[in-house]
Amino acid sequence: MGQRGSTQAEIRVLLLGLDNAGKSTLLYKLKHKSAFSTVPTVGFNVEMLDVKRQRKNIALTVWDVGGQAEMRRHWGGYHQDTAAVVFVVDSADRHRLDEARKELEKTLRSEQLRERPLLVLANKQDVAGAMTVTELKDAFNLRRICGEREWFVQACSAATGGGLDEALRRVSHMVKLPSDSAAAVKENIKGTVNYIRAKSVR
């Protein structure tokens, strides 16, 4: 009973952003629905979050990779098999906005993340003077840097939990599931062929 529609698809989501953006707080809030005291992440945190899309259960494996400058060098190693990128921004820290934009642009240039959907989380909305979604969209010039890529900006607060359920729902709808296969396989083949062609020219 209930076999159909209960297939478990495992999907990898990469949680990125500068140090102090709120990634670890966000991940633990999503997982445990409670405030959580974090320490700067050395290495990574990983959690499985169960979400539903239509009648299907999806297990999102969310990787929170340390955001400090020396850890950012290793982000590339986590790109493989990633279905979606969630980029967390401290909306209250206008001074580091440019640094965040540069890291996001660098991430989006990764060949392994081509065409992967992007969810930008405008975090710390509970702080007075936090940038709005529109401000962030413009500051990051998302329309230009994303091109054909599917993207969305969600306002949230990992501290209060506001916007987190919406964020999770959005990611679960953005990712391609293995069972979306016909289209996905075609896209994969096309991507691989283009990649090989590009590499073999000259």
Residues with a catalytic annotation lie at 68
Which region among 19-27, 72-80, 142-150, 188-196 touches ligand G3D (by CB under 6 A)? 19-27
Considering only residues 122 through 181, tell me which ones interact with ligand G3D, judged by CB under 6 A: 123-124, 126-127, 157-159
d(CA 90, CA 81): 26
Give the number of other CB atoms < 10 A from CB of residue 103: 20
Asked whether the beta carbons of 93 and 44 are under 8 A apart, the reply is no
Asked whether the beta carbons of 174 and 60 are under 8 A apart, the reply is no
One residue of 9, 38, 44, 76 binding ligand G3D per CB under 6 A = 38
Asked whether the beta carbons of 36 and 106 are under 8 A apart, the reply is no
Under the rule (CB under 5 A), what is the footprint of Mg ion?
24, 41
Site size with ligand G3D, rule: CB under 6 A: 19
Question: Which of 12, 4, 5 is closest to 176 using CA atoms?
Answer: 12
| Residue 150 beta carbon to ligand G3D: minimum distance, rounded to whole angstroms | 24
One residue of 14, 16, 22, 60 binding ligand G3D per CB under 6 A = 22
| Interface residues toward ligand G3D, by CB under 6 A | 17, 19-25, 38, 40-41, 67, 123-124, 126-127, 157-159
